[in-house]
Structure 1
Amino acid sequence: MQTKFIAVATAAAFAASAAAGVAHAQEIIKIGHVGPISGAQAHLGKDEENGAKLAVADLNAKGIKIAGKPVKFVLQLEDDGADPKQATTVAQKLVDAKVNGVIGHLNSGTTVPASRIYFNAGLPQISPASTNPIFTKQKFNTTFRVVANDSKLGGTLGSYAVTKLGAKKIAVIDDRTAYGMGVATEFVKGAKGAQIVDKQFTNDKATDFNAILTSIKAKNPDLVFFGGMDAVGGPLLRQMKALGIKAKFMGGDGVCTDALPRLAGATAVEGVVTCAEAGGVPAELQKNMDDFHARYRKAYNQEVQLYAPYVYDAVMTMAQAMQDAGSADPKKYLPFLAKVKYQGVTGLITFDQFGDINNGSLTLFTYPGAKKTKLEVVH
């Protein structure tokens, strides 16, 4: 009887040891995510972070294996505060932590300086939101993005302002960030046939626009374009209305958020705003996007702000490249990321020779009844 007990105990111990060995063999893959989790853009940064969490949860639920071995994905979440200096500090922190890849940053002004640090470390980086063309034109083989860049976004908005909205006299304001200046520059290039009657500058933390709007009002434009984010664009719109400026208002994806009516006031956006979001899906893929929004709503009890679907796809695309390479080692999977093919929530993701998404789409929106509403998707 004693012998039998010992045998059973030994067998149990062996099984426990084997199970522990399997658990120990599970490789941990660290994905860094960076966005502005503090400051005026925290609602957008948190939206991105939530998208990353959903992706990692889905990957782990699927029991992903790489080269036949079980892996577990974990996130290292960092805050760059939309500040370039803080962004480079965080980038070095992720490099030192030996993460396997980075998703971020949100702002072009943080993404571009951080990208050199990732490149020097050979660490793949996918931005889900940064649109300044400079990001992928630095000849860094580690840089990728899953949204159309400002050359397309700004240029499309400029053309739309003239051909669809009939703008003849346009005033342009930018917030002096890499994103704001970039999208405004491309907008002007695309607004062929219109007169640019005024160019004004602010900053990404400004709250008082009386001086620049007074100057603009004197020029009597029929459209005002703003290059910047909703935290500034909203109050800017509110003050335009207060000053009696009747012009239409246009902006890029930085202002194209569900939060804009709250930041500007519902009456300030009604019948006035046209904006474009980098990305968007045609009708045949809309169900996938709707399903994602429903899952997001259930998980976080709030609506998607803007970038969460693109963050989700960026994480999934990076994981796909790792599976294709049979390795999470950045040096080994980086070449596979350059030629990856992933069908995501936001559409098919493949990259050109610079790391820009191929055939990137844009979605135009307006705000009837203070509700963000799709106008059309353009490629």
Structure 2
Amino acid sequence: MANTKYLVNASAVAPLKLIALPGCEEMAKTINKYLIQFRQEISAQNTAKKDTYGYATDNYIIDVNLPRFGSGEGKGVINESVRGVDLFILVDVCNYSVTYSEFGNINHMSPDDHFQNLKRVIAAANGKAHRISVMMPFLYESRQHKRTGRESLDCALALQELVDYGVTNILTFDAHDPRVMNSIPLHGFDNFFPTYQFLKALLKTESDIQISNDHLMIISPDEGAMSRAIYFSNVLGVDMGMFYKRRDYSRIVNGKNPIVAHEFLGDSVEGKDCIVIDDMISSGGSMLDVATQLKSRGARNVYVCCTFGLFTDGLAKFDEYYEKGMIKKVITTNLIYQTPELLSRPWYSTAKMGKYMASIIDTLNHDVSINKVRDNTLKINKLLKQHGR
């Protein structure tokens, strides 16, 4: 039984329900499957919960529609009662595969469209839910997390807008800069990391990795990823290295100052496997440059672990670098949309997050400390023992 023993004698705050916005349907089905499993296990140990209304059912997903008018305008429709429920809304703002028609033109949904859908569904709930939590794995506009001039601060404004709509908890994964939570200091904001799922996927696909200080090194591709790399290196007991970016601050390309070079700080990587860990792959240029530099310094294999794989410039460059031997494996989560082309690549593996997300939802519904599922250290140590590491 996984992560349920502390819920056996805890009471749910209200009947649990889940809404999946367009593009999240498959993940919602996975979460629903695990929630059903968890509740069956808990009810078997505490039979009184079997008779608790809405506790152990065969479906936690609520049916919703988000129709569009011919002009592109839309609305949210909830097709069953949400009165008194503990409502969790799942949204993937990066799923560009979802389309809609506007004046006969087919548009792909942008993050702005997904965020507007989220607000529509919250408005359709009409304040009748006992509590509303939003699970937004890729935090909307999180790359614009600080102001450096006369510019908007979109992520902070979006968080404030959600709490003004009545959202109690905002759940996200590997926020680009979690300090954006300071924009809503009196409301719930929880940031989770898929470190355990990365290691699980890596050990499953790469059986020859030796987890020791002589054979493995954790690499931070920039100063922003340092905290992730430090935790990973400490829990595995291996050294860490770091690259820092030299940028050209005299010009802006695609909304940012272009990177001139990556400089390395750390011990020798010669003959070692290197795990590069970061929050996201956008175009992938920086990650591939880091992999090239590691290989030029004598690294044995380069593995890339990123929470979000956006691949905004396509997969051709990754195919090329894989063929050249610059990268051995790329692992990202299924928290956001993955194209069929990506899933078919020999250099790619998925860190599956459905069970973890279900465990987070189940724990919050019982009003139990979220640290019960946030701490990955015990799970990682158990995993290492199972693999004889």
TM-score range, shorter chain: 0.3 to 0.5
Comparing both chains, which one has the higher relative contact order based on Cα–Cα distances under 8 Å and sequence gaps of 6 or more?
A: 1
Q: TM-score, normalised by structure 1?
A: 0.45
TM-score by length of 2: 0.44
Larger Rg: 1
